[in-house]
Each structure stands twice: as C-alpha cells, then as structure tokens.
Structure 1
Amino acid sequence: MSTETILYIILASVISIALAIFMYGYKSKQSQRLSWIFGILRFITIFSILLLIINPKFESETYTTDKPKLPVLIDNSASVEVLGQNNNVLDLITELKENKKLNEKFDISYFSFGSKFRKSDTLSFAEKNTNISEALSSVNEIFKNRSAPTILITDGNQTLGNDYEFSSSTFKNPIYPIVLGDSVQYTDLKIGQLNTNRYAFLKNQFPVEVILTYSGTSDVNSEFVITQGTSTVYRSKVSFSEKENSSTLNFNLPANSVGLQKYTAQILPLENEKNRTNNIKHFAVEVIDQATNILIVSKLTHPDLGALKKSITSNEQRTVTFKKPVEAINLLNDYQLVILYQPDRSFAAVFSELEKLNKNAWTIAGLETDWTFLNSAQENFKKNSTRQKEDVQGKLNSNYGSFAVEDLGFDDFPPLHTQFGELSINVPHEVMLDQTIRGITSESPLLATMEINGRRNAIWDGEGFWRWRAGSFLKTDSFQDFDGFIGSLVQYLASNKRRSRLEVSSETFYYNNNPIKISAQYFDKNYVFDNRASLNITVVNSETEKQTVFPMLLRNNFYEVDLNSLPAGEYSFTISVANEEVSKSGNFTILDFNVEQQFLNADIAKLRRVAENTGGKEYLITDTNLLIDQLLADKNFQNIQKAERKTVPLIDWKYLLVLIVLTLAGEWFIRKYNGLI
C-alpha cells in the first residue's frame, strides 16, 4: 500500500470522527449512552464508505504444494489377455491405488490405450489394436512442462501407429515400462505381413506379397499354401534357420470370377509350435469387370497433378491418365471423367468435344487459368477476373447433399491461390466448400458441383491443394482422409447413375480389426438432405440368421453406423427410413483377423531401449515392488511449493458492504426502539 493511500485513509478516519462528533457529540439531544452508540455506528458507516471511495489495494500471498505427476499408461488390448497377464495387470492397478506412500508423494492419473488413448482405469482387454506411440505422445503433451515419470504397463507389441521407440525420443520424463509376459523365445512360424490389392480386374492377375518369419535355433522346413474354398491356388516350400529367419514371397493370383473372392493363407505349423493362430491369415479381393478411368488434361507441370493422381489411385478401382489438350481430343470417350486443370485457349477443342459427348467434367482453376476463354467456352459458371493473385481458404457447407462429406478441418488448411474476382454459377448447383478470405466468407464458392440433364460437372477455383493433402497428413499421420474426400468427389462425378432419395455407401468386405462403418444419405421429395429423419439398419447374419437392428446416427450431412461389435461372417443389411416406404439393401463380409493373437511373448528388448533412452528402467510384472521403492526413494521427484501473490482491491471485499448495511440497520433499529423515529 502506497504512502499516498495511507494518508487518504488517515484523512478519512479524521473526517469520519469529526462528522460523528458533530452529529452526536455537539448539542446532542440523546442521552450520553445513545450518543456514544450512534456516534460509533455513524463513524463506522462514514469511514467504511470513504474507504470504498479510496479503494486501497492489499497484497495477499498464498502457498500451494504441487506434487509430481505419475501417469500410469495401461495396455487395454487383447494381446494382454492372450499372454495371460490380465489378472496381473488388475492386481497391479489395485496395488498402486492402495499404496499410501506412493499416493502421498505423487499425483497419480490412470490412462488406458488400445486403438485409442483415453483417461480411464476401466479395463476390458478387448481392444483389437495397440497404439503405444499415440499414448506416449499424448502423455508427453499433457505433462510437457511438469515433472511426470511415466509407468508404461504393456507387452510392447504394437499393431498401429508410428514406432513408439522413436516417439519416446522426444519424451522429457523418464519412462518405466512394466513388461507383461516373458522374454522366452519359443519356436514359432508366422505370417508377419500379407500385402495385396483390395480390388482386381476380371481376367487379370493381382500381386500378393507375403513375409514369413521364424523364431528358433534349429533348421526347419515348412510349406506355404493359399487356398480358395477347397482348392489350392498357390503352394511353395520354405526353409528357415536361426540366421535366415525370414522369407519374402512375391507371386500373382488369377482373377477369374467377378465379385468377392476370399482366400486363406497358411504356413504349415511345426510339430512343437505353441501359437498356431499366427500361422493363418484370411484375405479377400473384390474382382470387378472394369476400372473407372479418369483423364487429366493439362499442359502445365504442377504438384497438384501428383496429389490428384495419388488421391484418385489410392482406390485400385480407378486409373489415371495424363494428356495434353491436343492429345486428349480423340480419347475423351474412353474415360468416365475428364479433369481439366487450369484450361486456356488450347482447350477449345476439348470443351467442344465434351459438349458433343455429354461427358462429365471437373474444372480446376488457378493462377494460370484463362478466364476470358473459360467464360466463353461453357455457360455453367463465370468469373470476372483481374488476374491479380488472391489467397483463399475453404469452409465445408454442412448443407451439401449430393454425397456424404466429412469435415477434414478445411478452414485450418493452408490457403489456395486464385485470381481475384467473383465466381458466379448460372445453373442449379450445390456448394460443397465456401470460399473464405481471412476467415470471412465471400460470395464466391471454392468448390461446387452441378448436375444438368444427367451430366455432372464441378468447378474448383483454387490451386495449391497439394498442401491440403500434406496438411491432412500432418494432422492425422495418414493421407487416408484427404484421399477419401477426393475419391468421393471423383466417384460422384464419374457416375451417371440416377439420383436416389436414399444413397448408401458401404464396402464389400471389412477386416474385423479395422473400423466397420456404413453411411447413408436421405433426401426429401425435393432432393434436399433431411437431417430430421430416423434411419435404422437391420443386419442379418447369413449363417445364423440372427437379426440385429442398429440406429444410424447423424454426422454433418450423412447418417452413419459403427458395426465393429459384429463377429466375423457374411451379412445382408437393409437401411430403412421411419414412416417412409424408402429402403435400400446390400451385403458385406467381415473377415476374421485378430492381430493381437499374433504374439507369443513381450518385446522386452524394445521396452528396455525406450527406458534407457528416457533415463528410466524396465521391470517385469513380478518386480513392481522394486519400481515402487525406486520412485519413493528418488529425490528427483519432490513436492514443489508455489507462492501466489494477489493484489486485491478493497471494493472486492464484500464483508465491508455487509458492515455498512449492518451499521445503518443497527442505527435504524435502535432509533425505532427508543421512539426516535
């Protein structure tokens, strides 16, 4: 408190005393006792009011004790139960919770991980994947500025995500792995990896790559076999030794029948082999009669073209061909969709031929686009361009209804480059992405689709979307989301199928360790997406004939259902709309593959390296008392006392207001009691 404020307070007290004496001491008509009482009450009232006017500020200091954090990461995947460690984990969690000394020293928080990382100590040991890398990265982010030694309870076998050994290199706190399972090496043959295309074309061959691994010390011989039903379609002898413990097979299989073709790959087990589950893998290939052929016409060389090809061909059903305008004129009828990248006057014959053939087209404009030509070459859209550069971003239109679109966070992606000017569309259309400039939505669309007389077209006004694909990868560690977005747009534009009020999107087959999702869109009679409808999906197991009904949940501009609870098998489904005679049916197959059953023991070597790299130490599940003793004895993990100094103005002190009310009320009551009012 400053000297000036103290002087004001002294002056206020003098004024309050003077006024109280003047009012009740000078020629007072009350008795001496009442004069004293009224004088004191009036002094308190006046002095309190003057203090509020002066509003002095007081400094207060509070002390808090901050205990070091102790995050406990628990592997909740099925491999823990396969290794017989689930009861040991539950006993360990109970021991950590009941240890008073450990809880007094540390602020303990529990997290579980499998396919996803979450704050929880409720364990089921049923998750179908293990992502240790995500768990470590998340905890490192949560406690990045805190002292937080981390207990990692896992078998070390990861099936999803980046290599957690490299993720731990940025960890700022020591990691103490508790190893579930033993490190004994059993004799074991297994199919380490099987790679094949999801789709193949009729009368062609599709490639298969198989990586076989062996754990053991003696020389062994076996045989690798692929069967389809009761027929053997491939067979190969394989040999292994302690040094040559892996083998890669590359071969082709014929695609002779249209539809879903299911196969079983097996490496014949050894006589003394303990785990035979990892000797077998089921896989499937959908054989289709013809591919969707996409033609990209461009005379430029641009990174966007590479990103387009990568995204489109991520689905093996589609092929991409690049041609210059003069080369493309006589080939247009061979393709289901033509993409025109930044057209100029050299595209004149291409536009004329597209009009004659009534061919679907997707126009992508940018800084090199000749809008004077483009405005005259077609009548769907116009732009009065000044040829000045403008940076724009996109924002998903949640009312877009031509097909299901998921928001990838478009407004967070890097800006695209376009020519300054307003884009107007002159035909019935739907805007998928609104154009935004510095966060403000403009009048121009960034991406719009239109359907006129059975012909589908789209306009994308912006170049540089290869950065969007890279940005999507940085956000999700995968190109899948962006490629799926481009794939959905291409699928819509490449099709001439008449629009239905109920559109369903599903796969022919799924692996049960991956998401099993079916989505649908329902439109009213005016073909406007109806977000108030109630959609249900009825799923029937073809073998057991068990029928299950699931509600479909609304997500942005489509409905979706997650069917991961279903066991492997063949299913038929019907999606229906409540109170409407609208429905659609289909079939899908769930292939059985439990990647968590592929492991015989813990990866103790990798967990040891993780511990050493972060300054920690690994422990077996039977030695957890040693870890607890070390954490209690380690002086690097101490309580931190924090002092917090606050400056509080007197006007925030509510008790002073209460005091003023009480003194005024007291004076009134005494006057009333003595008949002075």
Structure 2
Amino acid sequence: MSYTTLLFIVIAGIFALLLAGFQYKWNKKSMSKLNMLFLFLRFVTVFSVLLLLINPKLEQITLSTIKPNLVIAVDNSNSVKYLKQDVATNRLVENLKASKSLNDKFNMETYTLGEKLKASNSFEFNEKQTNIEAAFIQLSQIYKQTISPTILITDGNQTYGNSYEFSHHNYKQPIYPIILGDTVRYTDLKIQQLNVNKYAYLKNQFPVETILVFNGETAVNSKFVVTNGNNVVYSEIINFTKQNNSKVVNFKLPANSAGVHAYKAQLEPLNNEKNKTNNLKNFAIEVIDQKTKIALVSDMVHPDLGALKKSIESNEQRSVSLLNSNNILKQINDFQLVIIYQPNNKFNKLYDALNLENKNRFTIIGTKTDLNFLKSINKTFTHEITNQTESYQAELNKNYAPFIIEDINFESFPPLNSQYGSAAFSIPFETILNKTIHGISKTDPLLATFETSGRREAVLFGENIWQWRAQSYLDNKSFHPFDDFIGKLIQYVASNKQKSRLNIENESFYNGNTNVIIKAEFFDKNYEFDTRETLTITVKNAVTNESKTFPLILNNSNYQVDLSSLPAADYSFIVIASKENISKTGRFKILEYNVEQQFLNADVTKLQQLATNSQGESFFVNNTERLIENLLKDNRFVTIQKSNKNSLPLIDWKYLLIIITLSLSIEWFLRKYNGLI
C-alpha cells in the first residue's frame, strides 16, 4: 500500500470521526452510553463508505511448494514381450510407484510409448511400432517449464523416426534409461531390408533389392529363397564370414498376370539361431495392365509444369509428357487425359481434336490465359474479362461429392494468381475449392469439376500451384499430402466412371506393421455429404471364411474404420449404407510382418549414449538397486517453494459491504426502538 493511500485513509478516519461527533456530540454537555453507541455506528458507516471510495489494494502473500515430477515412460511395443521382459517391466514400475520416498519427493506420472505417447498406468505390450524420439518431443511440450527427470524403460529398439540418442537437444531433462534385454550377441541371419515397388505393369519385370546381414564369428552358408505360393521364383546360395557379413541381392521377377501377388522371401535359418522370425519377409506387388498416360500441354515455361509432372508421376501408374499445342496433335489418342495450361489462340486445333475425340481434360487458367479465345472455343464455362489480375486463396468445400478429399490445410497455402472476375458455368458443376480474398469467402470456384457428354473436365482458376507443393513440404516434411490430392484429382478426371453416392478408399494390400484404414464417403441424392447415414463394413477372411462386422465412424468429412486388429490374410469386404440400402464391395490383403520381432538384443549403445548426453544414468532392468537412491540424493531435483503476491482491491472485499449494512441497520433499529425517529 502506497504512502498516499495510507494518508487518504487517515484523513478519511478523522473526517468520519468528526462527522459522527458533530451529529451526536455537538451541543451535548454529556454523552449517554446510547449516544456513544450511535456515534460509533455512524463512524463505522462513514469510514467504511470512504474506504470504498479510496479503494486501497490489500496485498496477500501465499506460499506453495512444488515437487519435481518423475516421469516414467514405458515401452509398450510387443518387442518387450518378445524379448521376455514384460514381467520384469511390470515389477519395476510397481516397485517405483510403491516407493514412499519417491512419492514424498516427486509427483509421479506414467506414460506408455509406441507409435504415440499416451498417459496410462497399464501395459499390454501390443503396439506394432516404436518411435522414442516422437515421445520425447511430446514430453518436451508437457514438461517444458518444470523439473522432470525421466525414467525410460525400453529395449531401445526404435522401428521408425529420427535417432533418439540426441533427444536432449529438445528434451531438457535428465533421462535414466532402464535397459530391457541383455548384451549377449547371438549368431543370427537376418533380412535387414527388402525394397520393391508397389506397382508393376503387365508383361514386364519388376526389380527386387534385398539386404541380408549376418552376426557371428564363423563362416556360414545359407540359401535365399523367394516363393509365390508353392512356387519358387528365385533362389541363391549366400556365403557369410565375420568380415564379409552383409550381402545385397538384386533380381527381377516377371509380372505375368494382373492383380495383387504376394511373395515370401526367406533366408534359411541356421541350426543354432535364436531368432528365426527375422529370416523371413513377406511382400506384395500389384500388377496393372495399363499405365495412365497424361499430356501436359503448354506454350510457355512455368514452374507449375515441373511441379505438376512430379506430383502426378509420384504414382508409378501415371506418366506425364510435356508437349506444346502443335506436337500433341499427332499423338492425342495416346493419352487418357490432357492438361491444358493457360490456353491461347494457338490451342484452337487442340480443342477441335479434343472435342472430336471427346477427351477428358483439365484446364488451368492464369494471368497469361487468353480469355477471349477461351470464351469462343469453350461452351461449358466462361470467365469474366476485366484485364485485371487478382490473388486468390483456397477454401475446401467439404460437401464435394465425386471423391474423397482430405483437407491438407488449403487455407494456409499461398494465394494463386489469376484473372480478376467470376466464372459462369452453363452445366452443373462441383466445387472442390472456393476462392477467398483476405480471408473473406467468395461464392466463386477456384477449382471445380463437371461431367458433360460422357467426359470429365476440371478447371483451376489460378497459377503458381508449385508454391502449394512447396508449402505442403514445409508443413509436413513431405510432398505426399499434396501429391495425394493431385493424384486423386487426376484419377477422377482421367476416368469415365459415373459418380457414385457411396465412395470407398482402400489400398489393395497393407504391410503387417501399418494401420489398416478404410475410408468412405456417403452423399444424399443432391450429392451433399450426409452425416446421418449409418455405414457398416463386413469383412470376410478368405482362409477361415470367418466374417466380422464393424461400424464406420464419422471423422470430419468422411467415415472410416481401423481394421489393424485383423490377422494377416486375404479379405473381401462389403460396405453397406443401412438407411438407403446402397453397398459397395472390395478386396484387400494384409501381409504378415511384425517389425518388433526382428530384434534379438536391446540397443544398449544408444541408450547409454542417451543417458550420458542428458546427464542421466543407465541401468539394466535386473540391476536397478541404485536408481531410487540416485534420484533421492540428486540435488538437481529439489522441492521449490513459491510465494505468490496478490493485490486485492478493497471494493472486492464483500465483508466491508456487510459491515456497512449491519451498522446502518443496527443504528436505525436502535433509534426506532428509542423513539428517536
């Protein structure tokens, strides 16, 4: 409280006393006890009112103690169970939680880590992937401002993600790895990696690259065999020594029939091998009988052309040829789709040929497009001619019906440059992206599709889409989200299939270590996304003939179901819209593979380096006696006492109002009782 405020309070007290004395003492020779009481009550009332007007601030100091956190992060992947460390892990966590000394010193928090970090007190050791680095990134956000030493209970075998031994750069906490497993090096043969393309083309050969690894002291021989069903399609004798302990095997296999073909690669195990699971890998390839050929036609040089070509060809089923408006005419029948980039009057013959063959097309309009020519040659849509340019950002239309679109954060993408003005369509069309200017949505399409006379068309009213691909990479560290969006658009425009109210999206085969996600969209009769429908999927195992039914859950702009719990096999499925009695069928294959069972030992070196880098200490799970003692004695982990000073305005103190009310009420009743009113 300041000196000035204190002076005002003293003056208020003197004034209240003088005023009360003037009212009850003035012209009175003596004071009765009753008048003395009246004087006191009036003084309290006036002084309290003046205090409210001055409104001094009272300072309140509260003391609190904050214990450091003790984070226990447990590897919940099934490699822990495979290495037979699950019982020891549960026992260790129970001992830590039961320690009264640790509970007195720390706030204990338990997490499980696998594909993601989760707050949990139970461990099932059933997750198919391990990403330790991602767990530390999440923990760094949770415990950024606190003291939180971390006990990491794991075998250290990470199946994907960045290397974690340098996680101390992001996670500024001491880490105490508890190593699950032993350091004994067993003799082992292993298929370290198998590389193969996802697609092959009928009557061609597809390459396979396999990396084989040997751990051991003496020279050994083995046989590498690849089978398709009961047929051996490739075999080779492999020799290993301690010095020459890895081999790269390259070979080609024929693609003789269309469809999904599953293969099994196996390195015949040695008699004394402990882990034979990592000697085998299943892989599959989808053989397609044709490749979608796309012509990208432009009479100008622009970075959009290269971005579109790379994006479309990220799917090996598609190839793009860059052509000008003249040299395409002789080979127009070779293409299923023609992309016309910023047409002008030189494209007149191309449009005649496209109309004659009724070809699907994708038109991109930019600042160099001749809108007068386009208006004269095109009968499906026109664009207002203003001779001005504008920059438009995109907004996803979530009710787009023809195919499933994921929102890849279009609204954050850089604006596209185009001619200023609105587009008008003479036929029904579907908007994928709407134009926005400075965050204000316009009822004007930026990207639209439509069907007419048995062909499909798309039109994009903007150039510089290469910036979208670059922004997508900055946001996701990958071109895949943008390339997937362009791929779906190209697949739709290049096809002549009629649109459906029920659309299904699934892969033809899934690796055993990936999530099996099937997505669906359902539209009402006006082709608006319908969130009221109930979709179910019935999956039938082709081997056991067992059928299971699952509901599809509404997830933003689509329905989806996770079938990752299904065992490896061939499956057929049917998705049914219950209310409308509409259904679609499909097939997929799940390959048998468990990446968590590829390890024989704990990764001791990385875990020990992690402990050193983070100023912690590593322990083996069977030798943790010193762990609790070290945590209790470490002076870095101390309880912090904090004092909080709060300034409370007197006007917020409700008791002062009660005092004023009581003093006035008592004075009035006493005066009334004594006949003074």
Change (3 A) 1:289 1:43: same
- Give the Cα separation in 2 of the matches to 1:351 and 1:333: 13
Map of 1:583 onto structure 2: 583
**Amino acid paired to 2:327:** E
Contact 1:431 1:445 in 2 (8 A): yes
Map of 1:560 onto structure 2: 560
Three-state SS of the structure 2 residue aligned to 1:165 is coil
- Give the Cα separation in 1 of the matches to 2:599 and 2:172: 30
**How far apart are 1:215 and its partner, in Å?**
1.2
- Give the Cα separation in 2 of the matches to 1:624 and 1:315: 51
Three-state SS of the structure 2 residue aligned to 1:214 is strand
Change (3 A) 1:63 1:189: same
Contact 2:294 2:319 in 1 (8 A): yes
**Amino acid paired to 2:582:** V
**How far apart are 1:545 and its partner, in Å?**
2.5
**How far apart are 1:27 and its partner, in Å?**
7.1
Map of 2:133 onto structure 1: 133
- Give the Cα separation in 2 of the matches to 1:6 and 1:350: 91
Map of 1:421 onto structure 2: 420
> What TM-score does the superposition give when structure 1 sets the normalisation length?
0.93
**Amino acid paired to 2:403:** F
Three-state SS of the structure 1 residue aligned to 2:566 is coil
Map of 2:451 onto structure 1: 451
Three-state SS of the structure 1 residue aligned to 2:623 is helix
**How far apart are 1:180 and its partner, in Å?**
1.0
Map of 1:283 onto structure 2: 283
Residues 144-172 of structure 1 show CA distances to partners (whole Å, capped at 9, x for unaligned) of 34433332221111112222235554443
**How far apart are 1:648 and its partner, in Å?**
2.6
| Aligned counterparts, 1:356-371, within 5 A | 356-371=356-371
- Give the Cα separation in 1 of the matches to 2:106 and 2:388: 61
Contact 1:77 1:127 in 2 (8 A): yes
Map of 1:180 onto structure 2: 180
- Give the Cα separation in 1 of the matches to 2:467 and 2:625: 51
- Give the Cα separation in 2 of the matches to 1:635 and 1:581: 68
Residues 397-451 of structure 1 show CA distances to partners (whole Å, capped at 9, x for unaligned) of 22222211122222233x1330351332324222222223333323433322222
Map of 1:116 onto structure 2: 116
Three-state SS of the structure 1 residue aligned to 2:663 is helix
- Give the Cα separation in 2 of the matches to 1:670 and 1:576: 84
Contact 2:417 2:464 in 1 (8 A): no
- Give the Cα separation in 1 of the matches to 2:347 and 2:120: 60
**How far apart are 1:387 and its partner, in Å?**
6.4
Map of 2:551 onto structure 1: 551
Map of 1:637 onto structure 2: 637
Residues 70-99 of structure 1 show CA distances to partners (whole Å, capped at 9, x for unaligned) of 332221111111011112121222222222
- Give the Cα separation in 1 of the matches to 2:34 and 2:240: 110
**How far apart are 1:270 and its partner, in Å?**
0.5
Contact 2:386 2:421 in 1 (8 A): no
Three-state SS of the structure 2 residue aligned to 1:348 is helix
- Give the Cα separation in 2 of the matches to 1:662 and 1:316: 87
Change (3 A) 1:90 1:602: same
Map of 1:626 onto structure 2: 626
> What TM-score does the superposition give when structure 2 sets the normalisation length?
0.93
239-248 or 215-224: which moved more? 239-248
- Give the Cα separation in 1 of the matches to 2:611 and 2:301: 48
Contact 2:416 2:465 in 1 (8 A): no
Change (3 A) 1:460 1:36: farther
**How far apart are 1:343 and its partner, in Å?**
3.3
Change (3 A) 1:384 1:137: same
Contact 1:389 1:417 in 2 (8 A): no
- Give the Cα separation in 2 of the matches to 1:662 and 1:331: 100
561-570 or 633-642: which moved more? 633-642
- Give the Cα separation in 2 of the matches to 1:565 and 1:540: 14
Map of 2:480 onto structure 1: 480
**Amino acid paired to 2:495:** S
Three-state SS of the structure 1 residue aligned to 2:327 is helix
Map of 2:615 onto structure 1: 615
- Give the Cα separation in 2 of the matches to 1:233 and 1:598: 25
Matched, 1:324 2:319: no
Map of 1:147 onto structure 2: 147
Change (3 A) 1:621 1:301: farther
Map of 2:86 onto structure 1: 86
**How far apart are 1:629 and its partner, in Å?**
2.2
Change (3 A) 1:386 1:64: farther
Contact 1:367 1:417 in 2 (8 A): no
| Aligned counterparts, 1:117-266, within 5 A | 117-266=117-266
Contact 1:212 1:247 in 2 (8 A): yes
Contact 1:398 1:557 in 2 (8 A): yes
Residues 486-533 of structure 1 show CA distances to partners (whole Å, capped at 9, x for unaligned) of 222122111110122222222222223212111222222233322211
- Give the Cα separation in 1 of the matches to 2:673 and 2:569: 90
**How far apart are 1:569 and its partner, in Å?**
1.5
Unaligned runs of 5+ in 1: none
**Amino acid paired to 2:179:** V
Residues 238-277 of structure 1 show CA distances to partners (whole Å, capped at 9, x for unaligned) of 1112222211111111011111111111000011011111
Residues 627-651 of structure 1 show CA distances to partners (whole Å, capped at 9, x for unaligned) of 3322222223333333433333222
Residues 121-164 of structure 1 show CA distances to partners (whole Å, capped at 9, x for unaligned) of 32211011111121122222333344333322211111122222
Change (3 A) 1:391 1:338: same
Contact 2:68 2:146 in 1 (8 A): yes
Three-state SS of the structure 2 residue aligned to 1:59 is strand
- Give the Cα separation in 2 of the matches to 1:664 and 1:452: 87
**How far apart are 1:101 and its partner, in Å?**
2.5
- Give the Cα separation in 2 of the matches to 1:338 and 1:361: 5
Contact 1:149 1:175 in 2 (8 A): yes
**How far apart are 1:671 and its partner, in Å?**
5.5
Change (3 A) 1:674 1:239: farther
Three-state SS of the structure 2 residue aligned to 1:326 is coil
| Aligned residue pair count | 676
- Give the Cα separation in 2 of the matches to 1:355 and 1:48: 91
**How far apart are 1:26 and its partner, in Å?**
4.6
309-318 or 233-242: which moved more? 309-318
Change (3 A) 1:365 1:133: farther
369-378 or 206-215: which moved more? 369-378
Map of 1:47 onto structure 2: 47
**How far apart are 1:300 and its partner, in Å?**
4.2
- Give the Cα separation in 2 of the matches to 1:387 and 1:634: 73
**How far apart are 1:337 and its partner, in Å?**
1.8
Matched, 1:649 2:649: yes
**Amino acid paired to 1:542:** A
Change (3 A) 1:624 1:665: farther
42-51 or 488-497: which moved more? 42-51
Map of 1:14 onto structure 2: 14
What is the Cα-based RMSD across aligned positions, in Å? 2.6
**Amino acid paired to 1:523:** F
- Give the Cα separation in 2 of the matches to 1:301 and 1:47: 85
544-553 or 350-359: which moved more? 350-359
**How far apart are 1:384 and its partner, in Å?**
4.3
Indicate the percent of aligned positions where both proteins have the same amino acid: 50
Unaligned runs of 5+ in 2: none
**How far apart are 1:302 and its partner, in Å?**
4.0
Residues 582-601 of structure 1 show CA distances to partners (whole Å, capped at 9, x for unaligned) of 11122222211111111111
- Give the Cα separation in 1 of the matches to 2:540 and 2:644: 63
Contact 1:155 1:602 in 2 (8 A): yes
